[in-house]
Amino acid sequence: RDIVVRFRKNEPERSNVPNMTDITFGVVGKDYVLMASDTTIARSIFKMKNNQNKIRTLDNHILMAWNGPVADSINFSDYIERNLELYRFRNHSSLSVHAGAYYIRNELATAIRSRSPYQVNILLGGVDKNGPALYFMDYLGSIMKVNTGIQGYAQHMTYSLMDKQWHEDMSLEEGIALIKDCIAEMKKRFLISFDDTTFQIVDKDGVRVLDNP
Amino acid sequence: WSFKMALEALHGVCRYRCKIDEDNVTFPQNLLGQHNLLLPSFPKANSQVGDYLVDENGRKIKMQFAHGTTTLGFKFQGGTILVADSRATSGQYIGSGTVRKIIPITPNLLGTMAGGAADCTYWERVLAKQCKIYQLRNKVHISVAAASKLLANMVYQYKGYGLSLGVMIAGYDKKGPGLYYVDNDGTRMAGNLFSIGSGSIYAYGVVDSGYHWDMTDAEAQDLGRRAVYHATFRDGASGGIVRVYHIKEDGWNIISEEDC
């Protein structure tokens, strides 16, 4: 019957600009992808929540870290998660990481020139029969397969560090040390403080949270 | 009631239509379906609603939405506490000192009001209807997570249209005390402690320093009341009566409503 048309151009709402202050890292290792993100949700100058998990598990073998306003990010993540599950139910097998990444990119790219763009930046990591893979995606619909992925203001401070320290076939300890160095750099130089970070890893056995990395 | 409506329909009496102009029937259909709100007939509805009002000299009146309030909610071992002030301002004028900013949704759920009063009361009332329907269909009380998700999804449909809501949905369900923050952007966050409104900055200071999970009921109620009282002192847009509500397993209760 009546469909609400969402017309969201020229939004002046200050809390809905692409949020660069989320910190997310992703690293491809020997047979795993390690991702870490901060856990703070801010509202103007306040920390409203400091135990938010910004890394979603899709389909038990893909990690999707989101950056951006909570509303769009959560709605988009829910939408993607459910569509991937639907694919699995219909086709009796999961999408590969590459296919999943391009599906998500397609959704972002369709949305950007539509009435309601999603303001979400994504880091997608997964391990399948082709090995570990990490994809960097933008809210505009750009996609890059990368070895080290960073989102937000953290890019300014830690790209060089990642470039220096990353090498092929890193072991888990080396991967954790690399991300910890990046986090230490952020704590030293980034104006906005953050307390906790959450580490999640995906390897051939699936997804798990690292409690004490 | 439904018999009367059926009789009316039989005789062609349609109570909810206004037959001003039969060719151009544009009326808010929110009596028939609460999501069928009229869209504003101009673009950029979110930012320019106030620009279309003019005074007698033709100058534009900037519509002043009342955002001044202090609401506070937190969970602890004994349930959920919600505290709010009761002042409504429009510009520099205090419209009312006895506003009820904590709105019952079901006997187990409460919602707060911050931002636009009309938006909050309307959408929380729609939420109350949805919660009641859920309860009738499923024979269990709706969970706090589900109720807040319903509200967040409803509001997300109108994202960018200028709704102004900063509400907390608080209750007690089988997972224990529940507290969610829901925003007009469609943000929905679970948490142990939230404060919303212009006076929230002052309330945070007091409640953060005294909060811990193992408080007794009396300590928690006192902490909440004090936090909002201090906020009403410093914030000009907050004041009036401080109302304290406590939600436990068997429902919510008003603890006190005092002019602090």
The pLDDT score that the predictor gives to residue A3 is: 42
Chain A hits for B183, Cβ within 8 Å: 15, 71
Residues near B260 by Cβ (< 8 Å), separated by ≥ 6? B225, B228, B229, B232, B242
CB A4 within 8 Å of CB B163: no
Name which of B189, B198, B202, B207 to mutate to probe chain A: the one with the most chain A Cβ atoms within 10 A of its Cβ: B189
Q: Do B138 and B240 have their domain in common?
A: yes
Contact A48 B189 (CB under 8 A): yes
Q: Do B109 and B135 have their domain in common?
A: yes
Tell me the pLDDT of chain A (213 aa) as tens digits: 344 444 444 444 434 455 688 999 999 999 999 999 999 998 878 889 989 999 999 988 999 999 999 999 999 999 999 999 999 999 999 999 999 999 999 999 999 888 778 889 999 999 999 999 999 999 999 999 999 999 999 999 999 999 999 999 999 999 999 999 999 999 999 998 888 999 999 999 999 999 988
Last residue of a domain, one of B18, B37, B63: B63
Name which of A1, A3, A5, A7 to mutate to probe chain B: the one with the most chain B Cβ atoms within 10 A of its Cβ: A7
Sequential DSSP letters for chain A: ---PPP--TT---GGGS--TT--EEEEE-SSEEEEEEE--EEETTEEEES----EEEETTTEEEEEES-HHHHHHHHHHHHHHHHHHHHHHSSPPPHHHHHHHHHHHHHHHHTSSS----EEEEEEEETTEEEEEEE-TTS-EEEESEEEETTHHHHHHHHHHHH--SS--HHHHHHHHHHHHHHHHHH-SS----EEEEEEETTEEEEES--
The pLDDT score that the predictor gives to residue B260 is: 80
The pLDDT score that the predictor gives to residue A184 is: 94
Name which of A4, A76, A79, A118 to mutate to probe chain B: the one with the most chain B Cβ atoms within 10 A of its Cβ: A4
Query: Which of A4, A13, A49 is the closest to B189 by Cβ?
Result: A49
Q: Do B126 and B231 have their domain in common?
A: yes
Q: Do B21 and B144 have their domain in common?
A: no
User: Quick one: closest CA in B to A73, which residue?
Assistant: B187
The answer for B 37-56 residues in CB contact with A (under 8 A) is 37, 39, 43-47
Q: How many CB atoms lie within 10 A of CB B33?
A: 10
Instruction: Domain ranges for chain A, please list them.
Output: 23-210
Q: Which of B69, B70, B80, B232 is catalytic?
A: B69
Rg (CA), chain B: 20
CB B71 within 8 Å of CB B232: no
Q: How far is A8 from chain B (nearest CA, A)?
A: 5
Q: Summarize pLDDT for B204-216 with one digit per residue, the tens.
A: 999 999 999 999 9
Q: Do B135 and B44 have their domain in common?
A: no
Q: Do B121 and B39 have their domain in common?
A: no
Last residue of a domain, one of B18, B39, B63: B63
Query: Which of B157, B161, B185 is the closest to A15 by Cβ?
Result: B185
The fold adopted by the segment(s) A23-210 is Glutamine Phosphoribosylpyrophosphate, subunit 1, domain 1 (3.60.20)
Q: At B216, which CATH number? A: 3.60.20.10
- Above 50 in pLDDT, residue B119? yes
The answer for A 33-72 residues in CB contact with B (under 8 A) is 41, 46, 48-49, 52, 69-72
Q: Summarize pLDDT for B1-29 with one digit per residue, the tens.
A: 456 656 665 666 555 554 444 455 555 56
Q: Do B146 and B46 have their domain in common?
A: no
Is the Cβ of B194 closer than 8 Å to some Cβ of chain A?
A: yes
Contact A48 B45 (CB under 8 A): no
Chain B hits for A116, Cβ within 8 Å: 159-160
Contact A46 B201 (CB under 8 A): yes
Is the Cβ of A10 closer than 8 Å to some Cβ of chain B?
A: yes
Q: Do B58 and B92 have their domain in common?
A: no
Contact B159 A8 (CB under 8 A): yes
Number of domains in chain B: 2
> At B246, which helix (H) or strand (E)?
strand B242-248
Cα–Cα distance, B241 to B245 (Å, whole number): 13
The pLDDT score that the predictor gives to residue B70 is: 94
Q: Which domain holds residue B97?
A: 71-259
Q: Do B59 and B77 have their domain in common?
A: no
Is the Cβ of A16 closer than 8 Å to some Cβ of chain B?
A: yes
Q: How confident is the model at residue B174 (pLDDT cuts 50, 70, 90)?
A: very high
The pLDDT score that the predictor gives to residue B41 is: 58
Chain A hits for B190, Cβ within 8 Å: 49
- B69: annotated active-site residue: yes
Chain B hits for A7, Cβ within 8 Å: 43, 45, 160-161
Q: Do B79 and B26 have their domain in common?
A: no
Cα–Cα distance, B151 to B143 (Å, whole number): 13
Is the Cβ of B25 closer than 8 Å to some Cβ of chain A?
A: no
Q: Do B169 and B201 have their domain in common?
A: yes
Q: Do B144 and B201 have their domain in common?
A: yes
Contact A2 B29 (CB under 8 A): yes
